[in-house]
Structure 1
Amino acid sequence: MPSEAPARCAACAARNRALCAGLADRELAALHAIGRRRVLSAGQVLTWAGDPAIVCGNLVSGLLKVARQEADGRTQIVGLLFPGDFAGDPFDTRATDTIAALTEADLCIYPREALARTLEQHPAAERLLLRRTLATLTAARRALPMLAHARAEARVAAFLLDMAYRAEVSGDRPFVLPLSRGAMAEALGLAIETVSRHITGFRDDGLIALSGLRGIRLLDRVALARRSG
């Protein structure tokens, strides 16, 4: 039987990694009925911490950062969201963190209250959202020490390894970094000069190879992992 999924869902590159993964066409149609596409430009905010939680969304392409205000007034990036990740909490009436675009980001946006009602009517979707949320939290916890406490070299090395993992690239196959060095610096809490210096150092030490503006190959993952701490 041919798929009856909405055309945008059927063509979505992140469908197999997102909330929608494994949903029947009927459940996809229910989500599609309350959703809409939204494209954020780099730097644009999806939700502000402390504001009423109005929307949630599946990230289809691009990267988002999750930031939290510390007690001393500093803003700390506490996580990154990648295609397939879910942004926001449909069951929380107030946003805990600020979520903003690091690059241009394409999302499927759902009104929070409508999504909560839809999930109650479709338990399979609710279970998938829970699994996706737990996976995103696990990834954020893994990245948090790197983002907050590690030496600059360790942050950059860990970030490159995570980018390869997210891109599902094995061995030394080439891939394209999804963000500029300026965006990397912002995500890692470093100066762009620091990021560039360590990437050049990894290249000079034979750990990576670079091509063009963002092309990269990880030539020695073991050594890079040692640099990541």
Structure 2
Amino acid sequence: MTILEVLHTAPSCGTCPIRHRAVCARCETDELAALDAIKFYRSFEAGQTLIWAGDRMDFVASVVSGVATLTQVMEDGRTQTVGLLFPSDFVGRPGRERAPYNVIATTDLLMCCFRKKPFEELMGRTPHIGQRLLEMTLDELDAAREWMLLLGRKTAREKIASLLAIVGRRDAALHLRKPQGQMVFDLPLTREAMADYLGLTLETVSRQISALKRDGVIELEGKRHVTVPDYNRLLEEAGDDADGGFFG
């Protein structure tokens, strides 16, 4: 996709699909205008690396559409996926010079980017941006703690169900719906990526997805299009209740 095509397809602030959840969610009209002056859009194809760990970052960004993974390479060459970035999630940290993780597009991705230095200056005089970023950081901390529980204590079946619940909840939030009843969404990860993220083998992931399908917890069209007939039942399979969960 060319720069002109990106600009043509990029949403305006008023019609942006992540406006209600992104770092600019609390901004007034004049604050949005200030952000608009320092923003630019970038698109990435599935599989493309946005940022390498250790790279100097001259921008921060919000995911507009698509999903990305945060990965870390260990000394022996093994790669561990340590996080997922969904639409409205924020990439980069004001005040931090270098990226701590690789950021890789799992699907085709559109990012709303802000030049880092002007963004940091804008934060200092725009409390709404700093407040929203703090909220998002605390949500991310809560999610990380929940993920520690998932990886450390849950069974393989519960891990798969938990990941499906996460994706379903985030999809519902993006479309201003409550996660309840029947839910339909596309799974952004391949089974190989799910195995890497959950610390399971590919065979275990495939076996558990087949078991959830056989038991009527989910329905699949192809490998990615998921229907959850009853979201509360999925939460039960995940070991969660209807009021708790991940990545709210």
Tell me if structure 1 keeps the 8 A contact 2:80–2:196.
Answer: no
1:39 Cα deviation after fit: 1.1
**Structure 1 vs Structure 2 CA RMSD:** 2.6
Tell me if structure 2 keeps the 8 A contact 1:203–1:209.
Answer: yes
1:7 Cα deviation after fit: 6.3
Aligned partners of 1:25 and 1:216: how far apart in 2?
Answer: 39
| TM norm structure 2 | 0.79
Q: Residues 175 and 43 (structure 1 numbering): CA distance in 2 closer, same or farther, change over 3 Å?
A: same
1:63 Cα deviation after fit: 0.9
Choose the corresponding residue for 1:170, options 175, 179, 204: 179
Residue of structure 1 equivalent to 2:43: 39
Tell me if structure 1 keeps the 8 A contact 2:160–2:238.
Answer: no
Choose the corresponding residue for 2:55, options 51, 54, 69: 51
Residue of structure 2 equivalent to 1:226: 239
1:192 Cα deviation after fit: 4.5
Residue of structure 1 equivalent to 2:6: none
Deviations 1:54-111 (A, max 9, x none): 2210111111111123354422111111111101112101111221111111110112
Choose the corresponding residue for 1:200, options 199, 207, 210: 210
Tell me if structure 1 keeps the 8 A contact 2:80–2:197.
Answer: no
Q: Which amino acid aligns with 2:226?
A: G
Residue of structure 2 equivalent to 1:3: none
Q: Counterparts in 2 of 1:104-123, with a 5 A limit?
A: 104-123=108-127
Q: Which amino acid aligns with 1:9?
A: C
Choose the corresponding residue for 2:194, options 177, 180, 184: 184
Residue of structure 2 equivalent to 1:91: 95
Unaligned runs of 5+ in 1: 1-5
Aligned length: 223
Deviations 1:103-141 (A, max 9, x none): 111110112222111212222212211212221232233
Unaligned runs of 5+ in 2: 1-9, 173-177, 241-248
Choose the corresponding residue for 2:226, options 212, 215, 228: 215
| TM norm structure 1 | 0.85
Q: Which amino acid aligns with 2:33?
A: A
Deviations 1:145-183 (A, max 9, x none): 435775432321110111222123533313112415344
1:189 Cα deviation after fit: 4.5
Between stretches 9-18 and 207-216, larger displacement belongs to: 207-216
Between stretches 32-41 and 207-216, larger displacement belongs to: 207-216
Residue of structure 2 equivalent to 1:159: 163
Identity %: 35
Q: Residues 102 and 30 (structure 1 numbering): CA distance in 2 closer, same or farther, change over 3 Å?
A: same
